[in-house]
Amino acid sequence: MDNIRCTHCDAADLEPGFIEDSGEGSRGYARWIAGPLERGIFGGAKRMGRQRWQIEAFHCRTCGHLELFTWKPV
């Protein structure tokens, strides 16, 4: 992940981190799922059969902007 720059201020001082999911029954990290959000009959998101991608998060130390990227399926 070399040469990543902030899309807000163009600084190269990005700090890696992660987005935590601390909801009930969560695995402790968030994932990106392709396609529009569809809710099931109990209100939860339908996600069966959809590919899940790990979210990489970077915080710009210069301006505070948060950059999110997906790199590989999980």
Cβ pair 40, 48 in contact under 8 A:
no
Task: Provide the pLDDT for residue 74.
Answer: 66
Domain boundaries, the chain: 14-73
Amino acid found at 24: E
pLDDT for 49 equals 76
- Residues whose CB is less than 8 angstroms from the CB of residue 45 and which lie 6 or more positions away in sequence, other chains included: 33, 37, 38, 39
> Would you state the pLDDT for residue 1?
56
> How confident is the model over 47-53, as a mean pLDDT?
77
**Range 57-73 average pLDDT:** 89
